[in-house]
Amino acid sequence: MLPRHFLTLMDLSKDELHKLIARAIELKNMPNNNREYEPFKNKVLAIIFQKSSTRTRVSFETAMIQCGGRSIFLSTHDSQLGRGEPIEDTARVLSRMVDCVTIRTFEQEKIELFAQYSKVPVINALTDICHPCQLLADIQTYVEHRGAIQGKKIAWIGDGNNMCHSYMRAACQFDFELAIACPSDYQPNSDLLNETKANVSLFSDPSQAIKGADLVSTDVWASMGQEEEQTKRAESFAPYQVNSQLMALAKTDALFMHCLPAHRGEEVTGEVIDGAQSVVWDQAENRLHSQKALLEFLLC
Ligand code: CP
Ligand code: NVA
């Protein structure tokens, strides 16, 4: 039987995604943070990261440890991948040894190629074009604070980047309205915009996009791999800073989210990210619970 993968949010059905969020909340609320529940006993997760990570790496490793399994971390620098061993060969070898593989890299095509040759589930831990695991945590966090996200208005302010793309897919899968505000040179992928147009609208003016929003989300202006563009981007994105004046245009009970790491004083002010509407610490914690639910779905 072919393994299930989680390369984008479209790899699970709407029903599976809803159940997974409910399960993440259930696992979080198990006594003692479910440390006596060991569904991953004797299972091994390989974690292959070509980019830096704090939350994603630690949440995957902790999820495996708390649920009775183990993980092996491989950076591309010290595995043979860094010396040119083909992805296809690495996938064939690793998937004869481990039970699941999670990968963080640049090109989505690399993860797809790995999955094509893998006998075990492959999870996208972030690529240049999407970050589906983060959206599981974001939706869980919204549901915990406000109930169902269906029919709500979410504003994405800033770069049309990997996070923005996953919000676009989430808008379709969880049936919410997504209003994106970004500079003209930094818009999301046009094919994806077309595909998701029933749920997604694009603005250049952040005050238009944020008006009446139930949730406001943003991300860094220069993602990993774009560090050299930082100065140029800072100029274009300055009007897109999420500050108190902008937040005041959202609903009075609107939540603020940021996948982190954040740059206070750039895409968000300290007043907003450290303020009463911000749920970023719950959001970060939920990476652990939602990925436990994802691993359980794929492994058990
Ligand atoms: N949000 C997120 O993916 O964080 P890390 O880059 O620290 O894993
Ligand atoms: N857009 C950011 C997300 C980090 C979690 C990046 O790719 O660097």
Which residues are part of the catalytic machinery? 104, 131, 134, 219, 259, 287
CA separation for the pair 61, 59 (Å, rounded)? 6
Tens digits of residue pLDDT in 118-155 = 999 999 999 999 999 999 999 999 999 999 999 999 99
Report whether 128 contacts 107 (CB < 8 A). yes
Tens digits of residue pLDDT in 144-202 = 999 999 999 999 999 999 999 999 999 999 999 999 999 999 999 999 999 999 999 99
- Using the predicted structure, report yes or no on whether residue 291 has a pLDDT greater than 80: yes
Q: What is the CA radius of gyration of the chain?
A: 19
φ/ψ (deg, to 5) at 57: -65, -50
CA separation for the pair 131, 138 (Å, rounded)? 11
Three-class SS state of 201: strand
Distance from the CA of 299 to the center of ligand 2, in angstroms? 27
Distance from the CA of 284 to the center of ligand 1, in angstroms? 9
Closest ligand 1 atom, residue 125 Cα: 3
Q: Which pLDDT score, from 0 to 100, does residue 1 have?
A: 85
- Using the predicted structure, report yes or no on whether residue 34 has a pLDDT greater than 90: no
Q: Which pLDDT score, from 0 to 100, does residue 78 have?
A: 84
Residue nearest to atom 6 of ligand 2 (CA): 223
Contacts of 75 (CB under 8 A, 6+ apart): 48, 49, 50, 82
Q: Is 105 in the pocket of ligand 1 (CB under 6 A)?
A: no
- Using the predicted structure, report yes or no on whether residue 32 has a pLDDT greater than 80: no
Tens digits of residue pLDDT in 57-82 = 999 999 999 999 999 999 988 899 99
In three state form, how does the secondary structure of 232-254 look? HHHHHHHHHCECHHHHCCCCCCC
Residue nearest to atom 7 of ligand 2 (CA): 223
Q: Cα 17 to chain center, whole Å?
A: 14
Q: Is 196 in the pocket of ligand 1 (CB under 6 A)?
A: no
Q: Is 43 in the pocket of ligand 1 (CB under 6 A)?
A: no
Q: In sequence order, what E strands does the chain have?
A: 44-49, 70-75, 100-104, 122-124, 153-157, 177-181, 200-203, 215-218, 255-258
* 197-224: average pLDDT: 98
Distance from the CA of 170 to the center of ligand 1, in angstroms? 18
Q: Write the burial class of residue 243 (CB in 10 Å: 0-12 exposed, 13-18 middle, 19+ buried).
A: middle
Q: Which residue type, as a one-letter code, is found at position 68?
A: G
Distance from the CA of 25 to the center of ligand 1, in angstroms? 20
Distance from the CA of 65 to the center of ligand 1, in angstroms? 19
Tens digits of residue pLDDT in 250-285 = 999 999 999 999 999 999 999 999 999 999 999 999
* 91-117: average pLDDT: 98
Residue nearest to atom 6 of ligand 1 (CA): 53
Percentage with pLDDT > 70 across the chain: 99
Closest ligand 2 atom, residue 219 Cα: 1
Distance from the CA of 134 to the center of ligand 2, in angstroms? 10
* 100-122: average pLDDT: 98
Residue nearest to atom 2 of ligand 2 (CA): 223
- Using the predicted structure, report yes or no on whether residue 33 has a pLDDT greater than 80: no
Closest ligand 2 atom, residue 259 Cα: 5
Strand order in the sheet with 100-104: 70-75, 44-49, 100-104, 122-124
For 67-100, the DSSP string reads TT-EEEEEETTTSGGGGT--HHHHHHHHTTT-SE
And the tokens for 237?
């994105």
CA dihedral 78, 120, 64, 43 (to 10 degrees): -100
Percentage with pLDDT > 90 across the chain: 97
Q: Which pLDDT score, from 0 to 100, does residue 77 have?
A: 84
Q: Which pLDDT score, from 0 to 100, does residue 13 have?
A: 98
Report whether 174 contacts 149 (CB < 8 A). yes
What domains are there in the chain, each with its CATH number? 9-130+287-299 (3.40.50.1370), 134-283 (3.40.50.1370)
Q: Is 55 in the pocket of ligand 1 (CB under 6 A)?
A: yes
Q: Which pLDDT score, from 0 to 100, does residue 76 have?
A: 83
Enumerate residues lining ligand 2, CB below 6 A.
Answer: 126, 161-163, 219-220, 223-224, 259
